[in-house]
Each structure stands twice: as structure tokens, then as C-alpha cells.
Amino acid sequence: MTTAPLKRDSRNLRQALMDAASVMLLEASPAPAPSLRAVARACNVSATAVYLHFDSWAALIDAVLDQHFTDVRTRIDSAGRTSAHPRERLDATALAYVLWGLEYPGPYQLLFESTERLKDPGVVDSWSKELIGSMARDLLATGFVGDMAKAVEAVDRLSIALHGIISIRRHKPGRAWSRNVPEEVVGMVEVFAGPPRGLAGER
């Protein structure tokens, strides 16, 4: 990654360092997260300059993951507000989750597939449970399942399937897919939540 020399004020350099680390994290692999020196080189600054903003490599990665965690929550929350109908919200929420995971494979891997680099893994786990609960309430409201326990079980299985979509598309980028991502996601939601509203009839 080559970056032309830039004069940055303190605030801009901090964000530039986070952006550089984020770009490096886009490469999903079992390899370790980018080193502090690699991030410094990407921003054309010395490693010493990084320490003016982050006291350690871990602090930099924490800041990057915090930023991405905020982003994925914002996207999914926004998607859930696009429709007043619970069945449509399920499609929108599931699609937002998958699209974010495909757009940011490295951060997705660190946030949702492994926890050893997270400052507080419980925060991500708690949010994931809240999301499953919210989607389960939407599923229950559609009338497709009869009780909350069945709704939670169905959404939990759906979340595993959505993770599978992200994983296989991430690891097989050259494969010719018969359906695009939205079609794949909506089809998977249908397996666990029944057909979309237009096909199932108004409820």
C-alpha cells in the first residue's frame, strides 16, 4: 500500500492510522492483525508518531474494531427501520448483516468469528443476543411460528445460515453464483420465516 506524504494535524493522523489499519483488516485470513509498524508505513509516518495517538498496537486495533462495531450496529438498526412490517424487517436486517460482513471481511472475522483480540467480547455477544431477540419478536409477529421459544430457535439457526453465506462467498470469490446476494439472503430468510409478505398474503 503506497501513500503519498501528507501533512496532517493530530486529529487527522489518528483517523488516518485507524483507516490504514482498517484497510489491512479487510484481508480476511488467519494471519495476525497488521503490525503497528505496518500501519505507520501505510500512513508514511514513523512508528513513534503512532504512539502519540495509541499507546500500543492493541489500543489501535481496539479503536478500529470499536469503530467497525459501531458501524455494523448503525447499519443494521437503520435497515430495521426501513419497514413497519415485521416480515420485511427480517429481510432488511438479514441483508444488512450479510452485506456488511462481505464489505468488511477482516473486521467481521475479528468481531464475530474470533474473540481473542476483542477488548470486551461480552459487548459483542450481548449485542448479538439482543439482535436475535429483536428478530425473533419480528418473526413471532408474522404468525409463522407459534411461540417465542420457537422464534428464537429459528432466528438462531438463520444467523448460522447467514454466517455461512458470508463465509462461503468470502472464501470463493471466483465462483459463479446462480443468485445474487440479496436473492440468496431473502431465500434463506424464507426457509426459516416463511415467504415474503406479498407471497404469503397480508397478515
Read off the pLDDT of residues 163-197 as tens digits, 9 standing for 90 and up: 999 999 988 988 999 999 999 999 999 999 999 87
What does the DSSP 8-state code read for residue 35? P
User: Residues 47, 142: one domain?
Assistant: no
pLDDT at residue 155, rounded to an integer: 98
State how far the Cα of 16 lies from the Cα of 5, in Å rounded to an integer: 12
Number of domains composing the chain: 2
Q: pTM (2 decimals)?
A: 0.80
16 in a domain, yes or no?
yes
Averaged confidence pLDDT in the chain: 86
Q: Are residues 73 and 43 in the same domain?
A: no
Q: Look up the CATH number of the domain holding residue 173.
A: 1.10.357.10
Q: Does 92 score more than 50 pLDDT?
A: yes
Comparing 9 with 43, the larger pLDDT belongs to: 43
Say how far apart CA 70 and CA 84 lie, in whole Å: 24
Same-domain status, 134 and 35: no
Is the pLDDT at 57 greater than 90, yes or no?
Answer: no
Helices (H), the chain: 10-25, 36-42, 47-50, 57-80, 86-103, 105-108, 121-142, 148-171, 181-193, 197-200
Same domain, 130 and 165: yes
* Of 156, 88, 87, residue with least CA distance to 128: 156
Q: Report pLDDT for 109.
A: 86
Torsion of CA 187, 162, 169, 112, to 10 degrees: 170
Same domain, yes or no, for 114 and 185? yes
Position 69 in a domain: yes
Which of 3-17, 117-131, 169-183 bottoms out in mean pLDDT, i.e. has the lowest? 3-17
Domain coverage including residue 51 = 10-57
- Asked if residue 31 has pLDDT above 80, the reply is no
| Cα–Cα distances in angstroms (integers) from residue 40 to residues 33, 54, 57, 106, 181, in the given order | 14, 12, 11, 19, 35
Of 142, 150, 184, 186, which Cα lies nearest the Cα of 167?
184
**Mean pLDDT for the stretch of residues 122-137:** 94
Distance CA 32, CA 92 (A): 33
Statement to judge: residues 73 and 92 lie in one domain? yes
Dig out the grid coordinates for 77 from the structure: 438498526
d(CA 9, CA 19): 15
Q: How confident is the model at residue 157 (pLDDT cuts 50, 70, 90)?
A: very high
Find the mean pLDDT for residues 124-146: 95
